[in-house]
Amino acid sequence: MLGPVDLEIIFGEKIGVIGPSGAGKSTLLKLMSGEVDPSTGTVELKGRPLPSIQVPERSEIVGLMPQQFDLVPQLSARKNIEAGNSGRWSFLRTLAALLLPIHDLNASEIANHLGLEDHMNERTSRLSGGQQQRVALARLLVQNPEMMLLDEPVSSLDPSLASQILETLCGGSATPNSMQKTVIASLHSPKLATRYFDRVIGLSSGMIVFDKWSAEVDESDLDSLYKNSNLGITQDHENKSSELIWGRD
């Protein structure tokens, strides 16, 4: 669902991606995380083609929080959050974490920060949408990749919690895990995007409508972004061609 896209992202940038439903926001994030391969073109990470970076190493560089959370519903919230350690943990350490009541302190700290401390031992499928969203976010924060890709990270949260989390992610408030990270998040709200992110990319029907510093985004940009979608401008939806070069220091 993504037309030709040419993007360069610099390490440490905080980018908000906005646009109407079906604009290609999720696809863009999936392309960057390597979950989806482009039909033409390349995705480069730190100057290397993404497919050439194998999973354990890739997980240190890039991590995605999917829109549907994609947690393991039968596991407790704690086990889902601790899964963020998989890349660093050996098989035996993972097994021990699943079978024995050993708690990862870092995971607990992150969970507390997100207000999940009372739900850690609950089955994830029994948590509310907002709680599951925070579990997915906590898993990504535990994984702690250099670049965090977040697909609608605050869509199920109340406004004050959403602000608090975006502030945390974008380095406004002090948390050890989000400082000096590249953060790219898709959002439905242009207001949140311009308030918390340095750079805002407007996507519509798979095309970049604008790519600006958040201070420069004005009403006419937003008008064109959301008006285009209503007109239903047709794009080549079959081709997910893109040229993504990012993570250059």
Which CB, 86 or 164, lies closer to other proteins?
Answer: 86
| Binding to other proteins in span 49-78, by CB under 8 A | 55-56, 58-60, 63-64, 66, 68-76
With residue 140 as reference, give the H or E element that holds it: helix 129-143
How many chain residues touch other proteins (CB under 8 A)? 37
Whole-number Å distance between alpha carbons of 131 and 241: 35
Minimum Å gap between C-beta 127 and other proteins is 12
**Contact map string, positions 80 to 119, toward other proteins, x by CB under 8 A:** ---xxxxxxx-x--xx--x---------------------
Minimum Å gap between C-beta 224 and other proteins is 33
Whole-number Å distance between alpha carbons of 139 and 110: 9
Distances in Å between the Cα of 76 and the Cα atoms of 103, 124, 230 are: 12, 5, 42
Q: What is the CA radius of gyration of the chain?
A: 18
Instruction: Please list, residue by residue across 66-90, b when 16 or more beta carbons sit within 10 angstroms of its beta carbon and e when fewer do.
Output: bbebebeeebbbbbbbbbbbbeebe
Task: Candidates 27, 33, 108, 205: give the one binding other proteins (CB under 8 A).
Answer: 33
Burial-class residue 101 by CB neighbours within 10 Å (0-12, 13-18, 19+).
exposed
Minimum Å gap between C-beta 152 and other proteins is 14
Minimum Å gap between C-beta 34 and other proteins is 8
Minimum Å gap between C-beta 146 and other proteins is 13
Show Cβ contacts of residue 40 under 8 Å, excluding neighbours closer than 6 positions: 239, 241
| Binding to other proteins in span 113-152, by CB under 8 A | 121-123, 139, 143
SS3 161: helix
Which CB, 76 or 205, lies closer to other proteins?
Answer: 76
- Chain residues binding other proteins by CB under 8 A are 33-35, 55-56, 58-60, 63-64, 66, 68-76, 79, 83-89, 91, 94-95, 98, 121-123, 139, 143
